[in-house]
Amino acid sequence: VLRRTLRSAARLLRPRTAASEALAPLGSMAMADATFGRYDRLSFVSRRPVRAGLGGEHRSRRRAPSTDFVDYRPYHPGDDFRRIDWNVYGRLGSLQVKLTEGRERLDLTLVLDCSASMAWGEPDRLTFAARVLAALAYVGLARYDAVQVVCLGQERGATLLGPLRGRVRFPDVVALLSSVRGDGEVDLSTRLTQSLPGVSNQSLVVLVSDLLAPSGVEHGLDALKRDGADVVVIHVVSNAEANPNLAGDIEMVDAETDEVLEVGLSVEALERYRQRYQEWLRQQETVCAGRGLRYVRVNSDGSIDSAILNDLRHAGVLR
């Protein structure tokens, strides 16, 4: 109890977080454009028809008056005369109506896991995840999507921002992400079922997390699935976690629960751990695939460009 109290006090007294230092330069739009400007042409790919309202830049499955020509179809009584293509009638002698495609906004919810395990590593994964989330928010805001940012922590609960539209709101996103810190134990399953208001079957939910929960995250993902949301799970991993360089007798302290586990590490035990870790990664991928969710694994030791332009594009989250 004393240890937890001291850790909580230390967390409260900590003046700045690594995430705040990493994201502080993005507070101005000029810097944000300079940093994320190369993501201007990217947009999210949703498996659901988007219906957050007209005015976005996502192709809609609905046929709506616009300048974006899609196809012709024969005229039926009741159709608007103004949509008859008279040039076709003059050439073919039949009445054809021009079909156009509406452009709609995407309802985008970006969820950041702010548990203490995310703040582990050097550099810590939370900073990397916050920068990835900022880049995704930039992409969404640049496409006039309705962007909602949710940070899941222990002490501060779920912090919500949005929906926001337009790049001018990007500094708000940076301000929120600059304040995040690794925050104790977060039960992702419970939080995902409770803290995501407004998620519908038209939403695209992007979860950025390390998925480290002893009880798993299946229930939370099932809840999102029940809402009909299109879910993308971005799994943040690190090399130090996959290939630890440890030996001897060690007291392992859980970053979230402060649970202590005494282990004596031999070569055999380390090899066994690596196998177990790879099995666990495959299990997370299977959990997502089994629910029809898109799963992307990004390495926090890599660059943001690599995560956005390679991992997420190859996974079909962005195009």
Instruction: Give me the residues that bind another protein (CB under 8 A), please.
Output: 117, 120-121, 210, 212-214, 241, 246, 248-257, 259-266, 268-269, 272-273, 276-277, 280
Distance (Å, whole) CA 167 – CA 182: 27
- Looking at the Cβ atoms of 31 and 265, the one nearer to another protein is 265
Concatenating the DSSP letter of every residue in 76-105 gives -TTS-GGGB-HHHHHHHSS-EEEEEEEEE-
- Decide whether 80 or 251 has the Cβ nearer to another protein: 251
Least Cβ distance, residue 182 to another protein (angstroms): 10
By beta-carbon proximity to another protein, the closer residue of 142 and 255 is 255
Task: Determine the angle formed by the axes of helices 125-142 and 29-36, rounding to 10 degrees.
Answer: 100
Using the minimum distance from each CB to another protein, give the nearer residue, 2 or 261: 261
CB of 290 to another protein, least distance (A): 21
The minimum distance between CB 237 and another protein, in angstroms, equals 10
Q: Which is nearer to another protein, 137 or 236 (CB)?
A: 236
Minimum distance, C-beta of residue 230 to another protein, in the bound complex (Å): 28
Q: How far is the CB of 133 from another protein (least distance, A)?
A: 19
DSSP 3-state of 55? strand
Closer to another protein by CB, 59 or 219: give it: 219
Torsion of CA 293, 299, 303, 306, to 10 degrees: -40
CB of 255 to another protein, least distance (A): 5
Other beta carbons within 10 angstroms of residue 73's beta carbon come to 13
CB 115 within 8 A of CB 256: yes
CA distance 7 to 17: 15
Nearest residue to 243 via CA among 86, 98, 100, 121 = 121
**Minimum separation from the CB atom of position 303 to another protein (A):** 21
Interatomic CA distance for residues 17 and 131, integer angstroms: 13
User: Computed from CA positions of residues 49, 312, 286, 112, in that sequence, does the dihedral angle turn out positive or negative?
Assistant: negative
Q: How far is the CB of 186 from another protein (least distance, A)?
A: 12
CB-nearer residue toward another protein: 105 or 191 = 191
Tokens representing 258 are 């402060």
Return the number of the residue (35 or 190) whose C-beta is nearest another protein. 190
Strand, coil or helix: what is 319? coil
Alpha carbon 254 to its chain's center: 25
